[in-house]
Amino acid sequence: MIKACIFDLDGVIVDTAKYHFIAWRQLANQLGFDFTKEYNEKLKGISRMDSLNLVLSWGGVQKSEEEKIALATEKNEVYRSYILQMDKREILPGVLPFLEDLRARGIKMAIGSASKNAPTIITQLDLAEYFPVIIDGSKVSRSKPDPEVFLKAASELEVKPKESIVFEDAEAGIEAAISGGFYPVGVGDPKILGEASVVIAGFEGLKLEELSERLLAAVK
């Protein structure tokens, strides 16, 4: 029986990838190389410092740890300048009705995100009432595909992984959900998220009862 749903944030509840892309590209250009949308896709679900290390490696740039911290902070300030302008209009289609359906059924909900900006984004979107538990990059020491972020969310919700669905749009997130013992639902491209038990295009028209049936059929 499903008792909880744990959601990644970026690309699941809201599309902030476009703002990450702008901020990373600005930083890369400043360092003398370009940053593509393909690179941006590879950073999904990865922590800020791990992302920076990848970006620097793609550009063939070496920096000291002190310089890396300064660069990560600079990138985050650009990113935050965009997310602080967000509002409810940027919630992805179908998300709000699905959250309402879950709440009506008494399903517990949490955010499990690598982003340290998760609380800010949830506040900007006016969704705090749905997510009493937010586990973000400031509360975990290991990035996805390690399941720590989801295991902490389940612990705070007082549910077991086998009673919980994880919604993810990144390969690393699906891997984390599987290794943690959760029901993994991919949101996006089946070619990328094929390891998930079920892959959905989005939340429009989605009902928990229907999704549970699909999950049950997939794991038999």
189 counts as catalytic: no
**Distance from C-alpha of 34 to C-alpha of 64, rounded to nearest angstrom:** 21
Residue type, 187: V
Q: Tell how far CA 88 is from the center of its chain.
A: 18
Tokens of 87: 């509002």
29: nearest Cα among 5, 4, 3, 61: 61
CA–CA distance, 99 with 67 (Å, rounded to integer):
41
Per the CB < 8 A criterion, the answer to whether 83 and 19 are in contact is yes
Question: What's the CA gap between 16 and 11, in Å, rounded?
Answer: 7
For residue 10, indicate whether it is catalytic: yes
Please name the residues in contact with 34: beta carbons below 8 A apart, sequence gap of 6 or more. Answer: 25, 28
Residue with tokens 């049950």: 216
Q: Which of 10, 34, 136, 169 is catalytic?
A: 10
Which residues are identified as catalytic? 8, 10
